A = this chain, B = another copy of it.
Amino acid sequence: MEEKTRNDSTALVRPRVYLGPGIALGPGKVDLLRKVGECGSISAAGRALGIPYKRAWLLIDTLNTGFGRPLVETATGGKGGGGAVLTSLGQQVVACYEALERRLNAEASTELAALRALLEPPEKK
């Protein structure tokens, strides 16, 4: 996930937040939560993001443990498992992360411009 980039030419900051010992929240986990909410399934969300099922499951388990309450709940049974839903807490975590992300992108334009200025212009290569 580290190497993913944006296709547009706008610099964009995505935060990794260290909330405490054992619990960090970054773009990978948030995208996964959002996709689980859309797909209603951990395996489908993993497939959509190119994450192996086991890793997707582990990321969610880490979140559920770290927050002390589930962000994703799974139902067992049925063909191919019983699906998964974002809990109210999971939805709040995604919403708070998005608010943080918006804020950071709005506030950091000077520092982002300084960083981008170090890139050699592609046209002049």
Which residues of A come within 8 Å of B, CB atoms? 1-7, 9, 11-28, 62, 66-69, 89, 92-93, 96-97, 99-100, 103-104, 107-108, 110-112, 114-116, 118-120, 122, 125
Contact = CB atoms under 8 A, between A and B. Distances in A.
A100 B11 CA distance: 13
A26 B16 contact: yes
Given A7-B21, A14-B16, A24-B2, A118 B96 contact: yes
A103 B97 contact: no
20 contacts: A2-B24, A3-B62, A4-B24, A5-B18, A5-B22, A5-B23, A6-B20, A11-B17, A13-B16, A14-B18, A15-B104, A16-B26, A17-B115, A20-B116, A20-B122, A89-B118, A93-B118, A96-B118, A100-B108, A104-B107
Point out which of A5, A16, A68 has the most chain B C-beta atoms below 10 A from its C-beta.
A16
